[in-house]
Amino acid sequence: MKQFLLILFLFIITTNSQLMYAWNYSSHALTGIITYKLMDTNSRNKVLELITHHPRYKEDFVDAMPDTSKYWDQTQKERWIFAQISFWPDIARGFDGETREKYHHGTWHYINLGVFPNEELKKQFGSTLPSNTKLNYDENSEFERMNIMEALDYITNEFESKEATKEEKAVLLCWLFHLVCDIHQPLHTSAMFTPRLFSEGDRGGNSIRVGNYNLHSTWDWALGGEKDLIKLAEFLTEIRKDYISIFDDSGTNRIFNFSAWLKESYSLAKSEAYSKAVRDTVLSAENSNSCEFPSFTMSDEYKLNMEEAAKERVIIAGYRLSELLGVLL
């Protein structure tokens, strides 16, 4: 029975992908809105012009704009488009057949760097892990199996290429928005490994239960589920007051160094997402005879730390994306 429940749980978390692999709409929309706010008019217009060449521009942008948009001014409409660009790869997740195969790339959203309950278990894995941890795109990269680091490298190379069409770049623009946000989510950069329960990794916290959800989806929804653009803009105004200072000094935060961004998120994964309490929970489950995945109960302190980390990472992602676009477009 326990083995059956484990298989059932694996099936559920594998098929319910809408919650599994990405920050929710609020987080991606906030990154898009921040990017819009920080770019000058000329740079914004380059984004807005390029996205019109998207093969699904009419279906996923023009026709998808909410009914309330008839009351919006031009700035509000443009902000919505930036938010939609940032979220679009998760929209592609819901496509069917050949359209999904063409536009959805599941492994692009993450990289699974190893986290372990303790040093003893870490040593059992040696120097290699059963996950793709390549940091750059090259001729040996498999397009449909690339991780987020390979994908970001590939996308920036394509933007600099004279061979890529505007249609191709418009699709990759959505992925660039999306992945810059994703790489700032700690659980998109890491996975817990143990010899017994998580020999292939816990899929970035997807296999650690938190109530009716899991650790990964809880982090994805750390900033709530607001979809109203005006309310999101108001929320952004408030959180920027607290975090604007992180970009006030030297340019160290502005370096277009995906490896540095990965290192930041991975460090947060080890210290906050996979906190000592989480690691102890996993270790207890690993040492038991149960086949069930560990169930973690979040403390108020954990939730607060998670929310504060999410706010900071989304703000940083928006700043970095705006500057990256200024270079690439």
pLDDT in tens, the chain (329 residues): 444 333 333 333 333 333 344 567 888 998 999 999 889 999 999 999 999 999 999 999 999 999 999 999 999 999 999 999 999 999 999 999 999 999 999 999 999 999 999 999 999 998 888 999 999 999 999 999 999 999 999 999 999 888 999 999 999 999 999 999 999 999 999 999 999 999 999 999 999 999 999 999 999 998 876 666 667 667 666 666 665 565 544 444 555 789 999 999 999 999 999 999 999 999 999 999 888 899 999 999 999 999 999 988 988 899 899 999 999 99
Q: What's the pLDDT score for residue 22?
A: 57
Q: In the chain, how many domains are there?
A: 1
Q: What's the pLDDT score for residue 26?
A: 84
Residue 200 is assigned to a structural domain of this protein = yes
Q: What's the pLDDT score for residue 19?
A: 36
Residue 109 is assigned to a structural domain of this protein = yes
Residue 2 is assigned to a structural domain of this protein = no
Q: What is the CA radius of gyration of the chain?
A: 20
For residue 33, the enclosing domain spans: 21-328
C-alpha dihedral, 66 to 69 to 71 to 72, nearest 10°: 150
Q: Based on the number of CB atoms within 10 Å of its own CB, is 138 exposed (0-12), middle (13-18) or buried (19 or more)?
A: exposed
Residue 12 is assigned to a structural domain of this protein = no
User: Taking a C-beta distance cutoff of 8 angstroms, is the pair 329, 172 a contact?
Assistant: no
Residue 16 is assigned to a structural domain of this protein = no
At residue 5, the 3 state secondary structure works out as: helix
Q: What is the DSSP letter of 65?
A: S
At residue 68, the 3 state secondary structure works out as: helix
Q: Give the Cα separation of 290 and 6 in Å (integer).
A: 10
Q: Give the Cα separation of 242 and 231 in Å (integer).
A: 18
Residue 7 is assigned to a structural domain of this protein = no
Q: What's the pLDDT score for residue 284?
A: 96
CA separation, residue 63 to residues 57, 81, 323 (Å): 8, 12, 29
Q: What is the CATH number of the domain that holds 273?
A: 1.10.575.10
Q: Give the Cα separation of 94 and 97 in Å (integer).
A: 10
Which residues are within 8 A (CB) of 57 and not within 5 positions of it... i.e. 6 or more apart? 51, 170
Residue 75 is assigned to a structural domain of this protein = yes
Residue 15 is assigned to a structural domain of this protein = no
Q: Give the Cα separation of 108 and 155 in Å (integer).
A: 11
Q: What's the pLDDT score for residue 24?
A: 77
